[in-house]
Amino acid sequence: MMRYVLALDFGASSGRAMLAGFDGSRITLQEVHRFANEPVSKDGRLYWNVPQLMEELEQGLQAGYAIAPYESIAIDTWGVDYGMLGADGTLLELPRHYRDGRTDGILKKAEQFLPAAELYRRTGTQVMEINTLFQLLCQRDSGGFDQCATILPMPDLFAYLLTGTISAERSIASTTQMLSAETGTWDRELLELFHIPHRILPEIVESGTAKGTLSPEVQQRLGLPAICVTAVCGHDTQCAAFAAPAKTDKHVFLSCGTWSLFGTEPEQPVLTEQAAALGLSNEVGYGKRVTFLKNIIGLWLLQESRREYARQGKNYSFAEIETMARQSHEPSSFIDPDDPVFVPHGDIPKRVKAFCRKTGQHVPESDGAIFRCIYESLALKYRMALEELEACTGETYPVIHIMGGGVKDSLLCQLTADYCQRLVAAGPVEATVYGNAAIQMLALGILKTPAEARRCIAASESMQFYHAGAFPASSYEKYRTLLK
């Protein structure tokens, strides 16, 4: 007998509802609803359109149930953003988008409260301007928290709007930079240092537990029964990491979508000074498993460049972008993909050119050369991240599992294999959804162990393998010098 769950996966530019069925050995996925996630901009500020996203989510619930009566639903999203609820439980304002820019330059200010190295030692999280802690610091200085009864990370906010339950799932809570790496609870002392009231932080719950059921009001409105809403890893990255079809723990995963999350699964958090200096992050996954990873800006650079070219009347498909990059014969130039200039929306190609000019490199002329520069710079950054991970854990990882949208990009997969000099196993594209669905199935007892879940996911998809070609040594040397 087939058993079904519904996975709701929100990305930074689109979301979808996927029906996942399990026949006893394999998981099959069916997309039942897809929608755009368009941020709203108001008075120069950028917000997430929660009412519209809720409508889409509800359409997904109905479309899925019309196909198969699923037993549970769960939501995963990007990290760090949150909504604020008032005492009466209403959303005080639309949640701010992490690319809004309000946290630009905040790290300097944060140093007054606690030096970054100490912040890292306490939380184990890569210190990034967009993290919730710094967003709250801005909130403290603008509106304050008088009206705010609680904050809810995005996946928990959607779950709250369906169930009325207020809680934060651990994996998404670990992207806030407010969770103690030692105790796994909100770090009270740290909150005091930043003058953020502890009272606004919700109870933490584990992935794979029930959040509640659809509220009577939602049931009635949608014509659905009291379906269970499960807390999976609310953080999309952790759903993907969970789904890596790896045979051993000695692998690297590269969750490759808008962001590239390049990491591994050590036995313990790595809180050394070296890890802090290298900007590596300990984030929590299913069953409190630590993932040790680097947040790299990712395919955002290609996605946003594509949007910019479209604004200029040049509509390139992703396949065309890949071909143009392959065919570029201009001299190589590189960027640091993680330079803050590349974070905001806008004209990425122009910023790529400016970066190359400023660093005394050949300035790419053609659109293909811009794309080539982005591709190679990403693969080079992966190489550096691999070296950093291996230096910090003392391990060697023979295989890189690329998952997510990047799997479809054979140029990126091959460049990753070449620059990292490792075997690349590409797949599944839908890793996040597999992870979301498999964790629900574990919660329902349909799957018995995480290892069984990984085996089922591996059996449900075929992988593509990319073997390392010649190592582009001179490019790598040039890149290292550039980033020093």
Q: Does 60 bind ligand LRH (CB under 6 A)?
A: no
C-beta of 392 vs 431, nearer to ligand LRH: 431
Which residue of the set 9, 81, 236, 418 is catalytic? Answer: 236
265's CB contacts (< 8 A; 6+ apart) are 241, 249, 285, 289, 290, 291, 292
Q: How far is the CB of 295 from ligand LRH (least distance, A)?
A: 6
Q: How far is the CB of 444 from ligand LRH (least distance, A)?
A: 25
- Interface residue with ligand LRH among 15, 39, 60, 79 (CB under 6 A) is 79
Q: In whole angstroms, give the CA distance from residue 278 to residue 209.
A: 34
State yes or no: is 236 an active-site residue.
Answer: yes
Q: How far is the CB of 235 from ligand LRH (least distance, A)?
A: 6
Q: How far is the CB of 254 from ligand LRH (least distance, A)?
A: 12
First to last CA, the chain: 58
C-beta of 97 vs 251, nearer to ligand LRH: 97
- Interface residue with ligand LRH among 37, 126, 163, 295 (CB under 6 A) is 295
Sign of the alpha-carbon dihedral angle for 102, 51, 437, 317: negative
- Nearest Cα to Cα of residue 54 among 100, 86, 15: 15
Q: What are the backbone dihedrals phi and psi of residue 192, each rounded to the nearest 5 degrees, phi first?
A: -60, -45
Q: What are the backbone dihedrals phi and psi of residue 332, each rounded to the nearest 5 degrees, phi first?
A: -70, 140
- Nearest Cα to Cα of residue 73 among 62, 61, 63: 61
Q: Does 175 bind ligand LRH (CB under 6 A)?
A: yes
**With CB under 6 A as the contact rule, which of the stretches 114-122, 158-166, 257-265, 307-315 interacts with ligand LRH?**
257-265
Q: Does 125 bind ligand LRH (CB under 6 A)?
A: no
Q: Does 253 bind ligand LRH (CB under 6 A)?
A: no
**With CB under 6 A as the contact rule, which of the stretches 55-63, 199-207, 230-238, 443-451 interacts with ligand LRH?**
230-238
Cis preceding linkage at 197, omega within 30 = no
**With CB under 6 A as the contact rule, which of the stretches 40-48, 75-83, 115-123, 406-414 interacts with ligand LRH?**
75-83
Q: What is the size of the binding site for ligand LRH (CB under 6 A)?
A: 12
Q: Does 261 bind ligand LRH (CB under 6 A)?
A: yes
Q: How far is the CB of 175 from ligand LRH (least distance, A)?
A: 5
- Interface residue with ligand LRH among 10, 78, 397, 419 (CB under 6 A) is 78
- Nearest Cα to Cα of residue 200 among 255, 258, 145, 256: 145
Q: In whole angstroms, give the CA distance from residue 433 to residue 481.
A: 39
Please list every residue from 233 through 252 that binds ligand LRH, using CB under 6 A: 235-237
Please list every residue from 330 through 349 that binds ligand LRH, using CB under 6 A: none
Q: Which residues of 121-158 are buried (b: 16+ CB within 10 A; e: fewer)?
A: bbbbbbbbbbbbbbbbbbbeeeeebeebbbbbbbbbbb
168's CB contacts (< 8 A; 6+ apart) are 152, 153, 156, 201, 202, 203, 204, 205, 234
C-beta of 36 vs 459, nearer to ligand LRH: 36
- Given a contact cutoff of 8 angstroms between Cβ atoms, the answer to whether 7 and 437 are in contact is yes
C-beta of 78 vs 419, nearer to ligand LRH: 78
Q: Which residues of 375-406 are buried (b: 16+ CB within 10 A; e: fewer)?
A: bbbbbbbbbbbbebbeebbeeebebbbbbbbb
Q: Does 98 bind ligand LRH (CB under 6 A)?
A: yes
Q: Does 158 bind ligand LRH (CB under 6 A)?
A: no
**With CB under 6 A as the contact rule, which of the stretches 48-56, 77-85, 151-159, 447-455 interacts with ligand LRH?**
77-85
Annotated active-site positions, please? 236
Can you give the binding site for ligand LRH, defined by CB under 6 A?
78-80, 98, 175, 235-237, 258-259, 261, 295
